[in-house]
Amino acid sequence: MAPHAEIDKSSSDRAGNVGNDHEGSSSFRKELFTVKSPNVVYTEKEVLTKYTYRTTSVTRDDTGDYTVTPRETQYDFKFDRNVPKVGVMLVGWGGNNGTTVTAGIIANRRGLVWDTREGPRNANYYGSVVMGSTMKLGTDAKTQRDVNIPFHNVLPMVHPNDLVIGGWDISSLNLSDAMDRAAVLEPTLKMQVKKEMATMTPLPSIYYPDFIASNQGDRADNIINGSVACMGHVDHIRQDIRDFKRVNNLDKVIVQWTANTERFADVVAGVNDTADNLLKAIEEGQAEIAPSTIFAVACILENAPFINGSPQNTFVPGAIDLAERYGAFIGGDDFKSGQTKMKSALVEFLINAGIKVTSIASYNHLGNNDGKNLSEQKQFRSKEISKSNVVDDMVDANNVLYKDGEHPDHTVVIKYMPAVGDNKRALDEYYAEIFLGGHQTISIFNVCEDSLLASPLIIDLVLITEVMTRIQWKASSNDGSATAYQGFHSVLSILSYMLKAPLTPPGTPVVNALAKQRAALTNIFRACVGLEPESDMSLEHKLF
């Protein structure tokens, strides 16, 4: 595989990025397996598959009886095997997550080892679904045991070591100094990446004081002129993306918001409720347009996928409408890394076990800048909303336990405690009703190294989003008439596994159950290579 083209250092430094200058590429271009099936065709550039999608349609008559009808729909999938050169631009690049993910990619790229008081540690991608987990491929023909392969080998994917990273921040600190400010990484690791990160400086960003906590003002020394929305800000961000793509000779750029939590924007008729109204409101300088929405609009117009990793309502109806109009990919909201991921897994387990959860009390305190920003009520309210809705679909799915709109009591508390830094303390109590009026209480104390959990999710979101740009599908035509391939809906609900408040296409249900989210991800990947969803019936072991 040919090495990357050499990057013009002077230009790339101005654009604010870390590239990949090592010889060769780590991209997973060659498939680990081939599928032997009349429904799968491999060409030099593509995998073409015919896929039968099986669902069950249910109707209910006036007497309350159900009629259940199995349905089959034939689809053609086309997957581009070509792995592009990809850049990721982070909004909030100089924050805890931005500096941690950048240092982590450098450490992995260079294969670093560093000393800690617990012994030497090696660079890895633990915590990443793509890089750290496996997927069942099938059953070994000889031993009848499961064959599991790394998730990143299911489809040809970009390797995170090959990502070119840049971004924006309201703080002008170079990434080495910002990494010290974040106080996340071991000093012995920081010393090995310090020189390289000192050469990286974020691009100026947008700062609208009304949307983030007032205690963030002392960081805002690297801002684009103007304190309210304007089309000039959209154009500025679009030009930054173009420059970054050109200077680094990139095929694609993916943008993620990993900056401070904003307050919720009011959805106002005539302002941000439709695409046309949103664009007009930006031109008029309306005050209810958030910085994150400006970034989203710029990315949509530039056809650069945009993912919101914070809990605010970046994707007001007008932004979703605009993305649908341009066929641009968006995803959100709020990274799901520690406490909420545990909650969505545990509540799903309890309810599926027939145990009625009646109250959930979640408390956490943290001392990083995220906690400082959330110490103001408007920003906390955004987080409270994203953390409070994560059990709704699981409760709604069980009308045996929950009747007539019943719902568990659910409260969320977040406190800023500077002394604990990035080591967030999360305490959860689950109170449940069991057999014959008895009760069960489960208490969990979870110490989450916040940025070390979130950074692998940033990587996953980039890698999976990129793959989705290479998948096209169409309904098979029985009469032989031609139908056109199309991409997935602009709202990438497949990203839900990594996000607390999954954004879904308008009018479609939100799925928070972790197992369902993971199954959707793996089964779409399997469909791209012509494989059915893996059955766990294991009949071959049960029928003799």
Residue type present at position 29: R
Domains annotated on the chain, with CATH: 40-82+525-541 (no CATH), 339-450 (3.30.360.10)
Query: How deeply is 132 buried, as exposed, middle or buried, from its count of CB atoms within 10 A (0-12, 13-18, 19+)?
Result: middle
pLDDT on residue 419: 87
Residues pairing with 69 in the sheet: 57
What are the structure tokens assigned to 440, written together? Answer: 């069960």
Distances (CA, A) of 289 to 145, 169, 232, 274, 310: 55, 19, 14, 13, 16
Residues of the chain with pLDDT under 50: 1-15, 21-28
* Structure tokens belonging to residue 200: 């990286």
Distance CA(324)–CA(303), nearest Å, equals 11
Question: How many Cα atoms are found within 13 Å in the side-chain-facing hemisphere of 457?
Answer: 28
Exactly one of 245, 336, 343, 424 is catalytic; name it: 424
Q: How far is CA 274 from the centre of its chain?
A: 25
pLDDT recorded at residue 543: 64
DSSP 277-292: HHHHHHHHT-TT--HH
To the query of whether residue 334 is one of the catalytic residues in this protein, the response is yes
- Count how many Cα atoms sit within 13 Å of the Cα of residue 226 in the half-sphere of its side chain: 21
Q: Reply yes or no on whether 169 is catalytic.
A: no
Q: How far apart are CA 33 and CA 529, in angstroms?
A: 10
Has 140 been annotated as catalytic? no
Separation in Å, CA 388 to CA 274, 402, 490 = 27, 18, 26
CA distance 506 to 509: 9
Residue 206 to residues 106, 212, 220, 261, 308, Cα–Cα distance (Å): 27, 11, 9, 14, 16
**CA-to-CA distance for 205 and 166, rounded, in angstroms?**
12
Using DSSP's 3-state secondary structure scheme, residue 101 falls into: helix
Q: Phi and psi dihedrals of 333, rounded to 5?
A: -130, 150
Rounded-to-integer distance, Cα 248 and Cα 20, Å: 10
Q: CA-to-CA distance for 10 and 65, rounded, in angstroms?
A: 71
Q: Whose CA is closest to 460, among 118, 169, 1, 126?
A: 126
Q: What is the pLDDT of residues 257-316, one digit of tens each?
A: 999 889 889 999 999 999 999 999 999 999 999 999 999 999 999 999 999 999 899 999
Tokens (6 digits) for 82: 């070509």
CA 290, 340, 505, 332 dihedral sign is: positive
446 contacts 394 by C-beta, under 8 angstroms? no
Q: Where are the alpha helices (DSSP H) in 157-212?
A: 175-182, 187-198
Q: Which amino acid, 21?
A: D
Q: What is the pLDDT of residue 19?
A: 58
Q: For the residues of 449-485, what is the DSSP string, one character each?
A: EHHHHHHHHHHHHHHHHHHHTTEEEEEPPTT------
Catalytic residue of the set 336, 341, 383, 387: 383
pLDDT at 9: 35
Among 415, 261, 279, smallest CA distance to 335 is for: 261
Instruction: Count Cα neighbours of 354 within 13 Å in the Cβ-side half-sphere.
Output: 3
Question: pLDDT exceeding 90 applies to what percent of the chain?
Answer: 70
Residues contacting 143, CB < 8 A, separation 6+: none
Residue that is written with structure tokens 């100094």 in the block: 177
Give the separation between CA 229 and CA 280, rounded to whole angstroms.
11
- For residues 447 and 534, give the distance between their C-alpha atoms in angstroms, rounded to a whole number: 34
- 500 tagged catalytic: yes
pLDDT by residue (tens digit) across 350-380?
999 999 999 999 988 887 776 666 666 766 6
d(CA 332, CA 294): 15
Single out the residue of 226, 230, 190, 1 nearest to residue 100, CA to CA. Answer: 190
On whether the CB atoms of residues 138 and 495 are closer than 8 A, the answer is no
Specify the pLDDT at position 471: 97
Q: HSE (CB half, 13 Å, CA atoms) of 79?
A: 27
Give me the chain's average pLDDT, please. Answer: 89
Sign of CA dihedral 37, 41, 46, 51: negative
Cis previous bond, 333, omega within 30: yes
Q: What are the φ/ψ torsions at residue 93 (nearest 5 degrees)?
A: -60, -30
Q: Is 440 exposed, middle or buried (0-12, 13-18, 19+ CB in 10 A)?
A: middle
Residue 280 buriedness (CB in 10 A; 0-12 / 13-18 / 19+): middle
C-beta separation of 167 from 202 below 8 A? yes
Q: Residue 495: what pLDDT?
A: 96
Name the packing angle between helices 231-247 and 291-302 (round to 10°). Answer: 50
- Which of 169, 240, 334, 428 is flagged as catalytic? 334
Question: Which pLDDT score is estimated for 380?
Answer: 61
Separation between Cα atoms, residue 212 and residue 263, nearest integer Å: 6
